[in-house]
Chain A
Amino acid sequence: MTTRAFLQHRLPPISVIIAGLVLATMIVLVIFAALIAPMDPRDVSSYSLIDMEIPPSFMDGGDPRFLLGTDNQGRDLVSVILFGLRISIIIGIGAVLLAAIIGVALGLIAGYFGGIIDTILMRVGDVLVSFPTILVALLISGVARAQLSGATVSEWAPVILICAIALNEWVQYARTVRASTMVENARDYVRAAKVIGLPSRRIMLRHILPNVMSSVMVIATINLAGAILTEATLSFLGAGMPATYPSLGTLIRIGNQFLFSGLWWIAVMPAAVLVVLVLAVNVIGDYLRDRFNPKLMAH
């Protein structure tokens, strides 16, 4: 009885295992997208308008070459979704990483030094989070569009999106890391390091940082889903990835125009993939949060 209880305690619930498998599959597909996808959506010569608006292969009028059908330009939906998924995941992870790096660094500094440095950093953060992420991101990509040429914007769109999302998201990391840093700061091993005479930077990086990272990992996983959704929203609104290099959000926007003319698959297929992706990440994130840090539930 105890062995089984032990195993049940250690193994995550079945939903988490499924979510993990789904996410792992998506990541493998995305890494090898160029090999798996029947065509390259960025290569104009690989598709033609003749194949436009073909329904999925399992429907009447479907074509076995196009498993999920084609869009209004004749692009194979399987291929555009794979590449769109790739760009969505890259932007999501990139934004989370950038936000985590900024947030952890500022949180450590604020929590370790306290006083006026802490006050300034945290008030700046308060001001930033009082703007909705979408608004800040729209502003940044709007400014970028106004200042740069169309071609440059298309080229730099992923970087602009990553920065726009991270600018708002780092505050949450900074707050959590600041609080954990203050706790660790009062513990004897940090005080011992101070008495030894180690410089502050070394104490922060070598002693405090490894002890606050577990909560950062949990927030990062939860925020990954949010970052992917923000990117999709921006692209859907036209402020994100261009149609020539579409993310899932861009694909949904394109499909949205044809939703009521019977060509539902152009919008629904990428939307379904987005839902599955975000759901999988969320399930894993919730599990990690409950497992490692019950105190974070308020977020």
Chain B
Amino acid sequence: MNTQTPPVLDIKNLRVEYPLTNGGTLVAVNDIDLTIRPGEIHALVGESGAGKTTVGNALMGLLQAPGRIAGGSISIAGKQINTRTGRTEGIVPGRDVGAIFQDPMTSLNPLFTVESQLCEGMLAHLKISRKEARARALDLLKAVGIPEPERRLGSYPHQLSGGQRQRVVIATALACDPRLIVADEPTTALDVSVQAQILKLIRDLADERRVGVLLVTHNMGVVAEIADRVTIMQNGSVVESGSARGVLTSPKAPYARTLIAAVPPIEHRLERLPVPSEETPATLKAREAVRGKTRSAAESKEDEPMLAVRELCVEYGQRSFLPSRRTAFKAVKSVSFDVKRGEIFGLVGESGCGKTTVANTIAGLVAPTSGSVHFQGVALEAGRTKSVRQSMQMVFQDPYSALNPRMRINAAIAEPILFYELASNAAEAREDAAILLEAVGLNGQSGERFAHAFSGGQRQRIAIARALGPQPSMLICDEPTSALDVSVQAQLLNLLKDLRDLAGLSMLFISHDLAVIRQMCDRVAVMKGGEIVELAETETLFSSPQHEYTRELLRLAPSLDRILKAENTAA
């Protein structure tokens, strides 16, 4: 690379501080160095709270007061940023630095057309006429690969799909030919197939336009796919930095090693994900106690499936007195599968494929339009008995809304125990709650606190403990780890596997993440457009996918292994 051209971004010893209410300071970013050359994609990875987004905000002058740059320097295209005001002489955010944010729905103004969003920045920064701006907008839409660009100029954001919206956001970021683009989790909200296209687009733009890209992400697969260089952050400091392949294949810092090891591989199945186990003797003792309480799974015939779903259809619609005004959307079209005893059955698919609707229908949160669900041989259409409700519990996706903010944790866990009379009094139920907390790896004493005192991963553990309280035989997990950091995800996946072995649970495991599915499930069904397109043993499905859609999903999923493998064959 030509060393004469100045780097588009040069960060030296950057330090960002937030004053705390008690008079102290929180150091969000501590003494980091980062350089991006033209045409280079530099990934900034780390778990939540690592300070990676703060770096992006600092260089765009978007730090929220009272946060401030406390030291160091940032240079964009050779010009130094004023650390006091967050602005740079001669550098205009929007003209020289483009931004791509995580959620394309919220980063576009819903009241403006694509054309006005694109032209706004150009008219403000480039001093060109409206006609020129329009022509340029059209070029940009072509460059980011939006079909029918002429028509799309007049569209509003809600008329576009998620992937198209993100393309428009990228076009907006490119509008004034910036030297640098800050992409903060640009594909996190998108499906894998769309993600693959967007990543390719960003890679091509970097190569063709010589734009430097700071890619903030938590997804190692994305890093492996497109980044040239990578910097791993932890608690505001750089842990390791180097070429993407070098860092990903042979990380040197212990934290980097753990982080990369925690990424569930899509290419092969591991017995357990290699994360430091936090099983204390108390945890093991509590798990023994839970095992002792588990009702024997041999209540009914062994050969009968735990759950039998037959030709399940679910329609959402507008009800009306007039038949002509009734509309129906078929979310689930004739889905059939069995979950065997002690099995983890996976449902995988992109957003809108109906997998969550299937889970909600089985859990009784949504009424099916037609079809049948049998649980332990009992048909559920007629209504659920107390024992059926007790035997089937659910873990939800968002750990932040899954717990009642006004309830103490032990009360929340004890509530179903008391309701099903599994403890004779409140004190005993609280003891059981403490044992369950220990069993999921939390301190039994922490139950006196409220939900907000816990991190996302801890909350999800609490939600699992609550679901185990009624001593269920089946657990429905709806994307239980997709809101969590990768190392926390690995711990939770291990925990769920342990609990399956411990309590003889059957599980319906729903995820959009193929790698997670491969690690967790015994059998898996791939859903598309409300239908199951392929159902097979997990290993069979991953080694020899039959359906075209499954093959495409597997091909597009960003994968660390693929890079490592390519590296090995090259070496």
Contacts and interface: CB of A to CB of B under 8 A. Distances in A.
Contacts of A187: 401
Contacts of A206: 407, 415
Nearest to B416: A196
A188 B415 contact: no
Q: Of residues A188, A191, A202, A207, which shows the largest number of chain B Cβ atoms within 10 Å of its Cβ? A: A188
B515 interface: no
Contact of A195 (B66, B393, B406, B415): B393
A198 B416 contact: yes
Contacts of A188: 396-398, 401-402
A2 B19 CA distance: 8
Interface string A173-211: 000000000000001110111111110001000110011
A260 interface: no
Interface string B389-426: 11011101110011111110000000110011000000
B405 A197 contact: no
Contacts of B420: 197
B365 to A, nearest CB: 6
A194 B416 CA distance: 11
Contacts of A194: 364-365
B363 interface: yes
A202 B394 CA distance: 19
Given A188-B401, A211-B404, A211-B405, A195 B419 contact: no
Given A196-B389, A196-B470, A207 B404 contact: yes
Contacts of B415: 193, 196, 198, 206
B463 interface: yes
Chain B contact-residue range equals 20 to 34
Interface SS of chain B: loop
A195 to B, nearest CB: 4
B386 interface: yes
Contacts of B406: 210-211
Contacts of A191: 365, 394, 396
A191 B393 CA distance: 11
B21 interface: yes
B403 A189 contact: yes
Contact of A192 (B66, B392, B405, B463): B463
Given A6-B21, A192-B466, A197 B389 contact: yes
Contacts of A192: 394, 396, 402, 463, 466-467
Contacts of B66: 2
A103 to B, nearest CB: 20
Nearest to A194: B365
Interface residues of A, number: 19
Nearest to B417: A196
B276 interface: no
A195 B394 contact: yes
Contacts of A202: 419
B23 interface: yes
A189 B401 contact: yes
A3 B23 contact: yes
Contacts of A210: 404, 406-407
Nearest to B386: A197
Contact of B364 (A189, A195, A211): A195
A198 B414 CA distance: 13
Nearest to A199: B419
Contacts of B392: 195
A66 B402 CA distance: 64
A197 B386 CA distance: 7
A228 B101 CA distance: 51
Interface string B372-395: 000000000000101001101110
Contacts of B405: 211
A189 B470 contact: no
A37 to B, nearest CB: 43
Contact of B390 (A6, A197, A207): A197
Contact of A2 (B23, B363, B396): B23
Contacts of A193: 404, 415
A170 to B, nearest CB: 24
B293 to A, nearest CB: 17
Given A2-B66, A188-B397, A195 B404 contact: no
Nearest to B405: A211
B419 A197 contact: yes
Nearest to A211: B406
A187 B389 CA distance: 19
Contacts of B23: 2-3
B316 to A, nearest CB: 14
A188 B390 CA distance: 18
Nearest to A115: B319
B361 to A, nearest CB: 12
Contacts of B364: 194-195
Contacts of A6: 21
Contacts of B470: 196-197
Contacts of A189: 401-404
A13 B384 CA distance: 55
Given A195-B365, A210-B407, 5 more contacts: A188-B402, A192-B394, A192-B467, A193-B415, A207-B407
Closest 5 CB pairs between A and B? A197-B389, A210-B406, A188-B396, A188-B402, A187-B401
24 contacts: A2-B23, A6-B21, A187-B401, A188-B401, A189-B401, A189-B402, A191-B365, A191-B394, A192-B402, A193-B415, A195-B363, A195-B476, A196-B393, A196-B416, A196-B466, A197-B389, A197-B416, A197-B470, A198-B415, A198-B416, A206-B415, A210-B404, A210-B406, A211-B405
